Structure 1
Amino acid sequence: MTTQVVILAAGMGSRLGRSLPKPLTELGDGRTIMQQQFDNIHHTFGRNAKVTIVVGYKLEHIIEAFPDASFVYNEQYDQTNTSKSLLRALQASPAGGVLWMNGDVVFDPTVLDRAAVMIARDQSFVTVNTAKVSDEEVKYTTSAEGYIKELSKTVTGGLGEAVGINYISAADKARLIRHLTKVGDQDYFERGLELAIERDGILIEPVDISDLYAVEIDFAEDLERANLFV
């Protein structure tokens, strides 16, 4: 079955201070952040993976760079956060589960190999790094059964950080869509997941990738760190 992948790339990425959309930032090996993501997707899922990019800020540059992808437009990219970009992508997606990632994550190709095992089971998951717990990052806790319980930047006693690569199963997708419609424009998509867990009891597993690299690029120092790996 064809794997559905969504890349969230509508934001302005102003903290990095570049003129182009952040996913088009060049890495030390000459690839852009997004090209690295495409390479990783093809490594695990092959060329038949269906990739949809949510675009907004300076969208023409991303469309020109990746003409073979499908595109969903978040026309309110300057007024909304990732919850509304993901909502648009899931609403436009065909039946089946969806793997999605933030468009600014540089990560080890093996991350998706690990994710593929869960996708084959159609099990919703969030990839996590238990090696560090920073105040400014999305953190998580788990239930007694080991499933995600809390997932936000305000979590206290977090067990680790969410990496920004996640999967919603075919069975859970409609419920996540419903909650994403209700969250605030400035909420991250994690708020929709939290509500789906809290109110609908969906089961989301944490997938630990602490032994692999995954760097979210917000600032110049993040880019420097990512370039140590690629």
Structure 2
Amino acid sequence: MSTQIVILAAGMGSRLGRTLPKPLTELSDGRSIMQQQFDNIHHAFGPQANVTIVVGYKSEHIIEAFPSAQFVFNEEYDQTNTSKSLMRALQASAPGGVLWMNGDVVFDPAALVRAAKVVARDQSFVSINTEKVSDEEVKYTTDAEGYIKELSKTVKGGLGEAVGINYIARKDKAVLLRQLRRVADQDYFERGIELAIEQDKLRIEPVDISDLYAVEIDFAEDLERANLFV
């Protein structure tokens, strides 16, 4: 079975101030954010990679731009956060692990090449960057064995930031899905992961991509920074 890959793209992305869904924002090389992601996916997993996009806000524009993808709809995109978009994607997925990414991240193609090696081991992971720890970003700590212990924006003494590229293994998917169903509508998916670690002893490996670029696009200055790399 080919690797199942999900892009979370249901949100309104209002902070960037664009009329189209944020993943369709054009980069300086002429590609959209999502096209850059698709190119990276094909580079790491081949042209036949199975990609599902979770859509909501102005979904018709994304569907038109990427007609070969599969789609899952989050009709409550204006009332829910990424926890419920990922929940819908996992519910719709086939048996096996799922790699997913936020639809607003511009990242180095090598990030998925590195991720593919961990996917091949079917080990759940979160890609991280240890170069900076910003208050507004999702931060993490690790336990004595080096696995993720805490994962949220409110973590104190974070070792680095999560960059929005993650994988849940076949054996762990049901546990994460159960926790995603339980969390609040406005929670990020990281809350489901954190509860699964705390309550179900889920083991999530941090995959360090600090030497590679990965820029989450929230504001115009983020877009300017991403354009320095593409």
Normalised by the length of structure 2, the TM-score is 1.00
> Residue 26 of structure 1 corresponds to which residue in structure 2?
26
Tell me the distance in 1 between the aligned counterparts of 2:189 and 2:116.
Answer: 21
* 2:154 maps to 1:148: no
CA offsets 1:76-119 (integer angstroms, 9 cap, x no match): 00000000000000000000000000000000000000000100
Identity %: 82
**Corresponding position of 1:85:** 85
State how far apart, in whole Å, the 1-side matches of 2:229 and 2:91 are.
35
Determine whether 1:111 maps to 2:111: yes
| One-letter amino acid of the structure 2 residue matched with residue 41 of structure 1 | I
Q: Which residue identity is paired with 1:81?
A: N
1:115 maps to amino acid? A
Query: What does residue range 156-175 of structure 1 map to in structure 2 within 5 Å?
Result: 156-175=156-175
1:128 maps to 128
CA distance in 2, matches of 1:146, 1:155: 16
CA distance in 1, matches of 2:172, 2:153: 23
Corresponding position of 1:45: 45
Question: In structure 2, what is the Cα distance between the partners aligned to 1:187 and 1:59?
Answer: 22
Q: Report SS of the residue matched to 1:141.
A: strand
* Cα distance in 2 between the residues matched to 1:175 and 1:18: 36
Query: How far apart, CA to CA, are the structure 2 residues paired with 1:102 and 1:73?
Result: 15
TM-superposed deviation, 1:145: 0.2
Show the counterpart of 1:57. Answer: 57
**1:162-211 per-position Cα deviation (integer Å, ceiling 9, x unaligned):** 00000000000000000000000000000000011000001000000000
Aligned-residue offset at 1:47: 1.3
Deviations 1:19-72 (A, max 9, x none): 000000000000000000000000000011100000000000000000000000
Match of 1:10 in 2: 10
Q: Which amino acid aligns with 2:126?
A: V
Moved runs in structure 1, 4+ residues, more than 4 A? none
Q: Which residue of 2 aligns with 1:98?
A: 98
Give runs of aligned pairs for residues 198-217 of structure 1, distance below 5 A: 198-217=198-217
Q: Distance in 2 between matches of 1:186 and 1:77?
A: 10
**1:228 aligns to what?**
228
Query: Which amino acid is 1:191 matched to?
Result: R
| CA RMSD after TM alignment | 0.3
Number of residue equivalences: 230
Unaligned runs of 5+ in 2: none
Aligned to 2:188: 188
Paired AA for residue 90 in structure 1: L
For 2:108 and 2:134, locate their aligned partners in 1 and report how far apart those are by CA, in whole Å: 21
Alignment partner of 1:172: what SS?
helix
Unaligned runs of 5+ in 1: none
Distance in 1 between the 2:171 and 2:118 partners? Answer: 14
TM-score (structure 1 length as normaliser) = 1.00
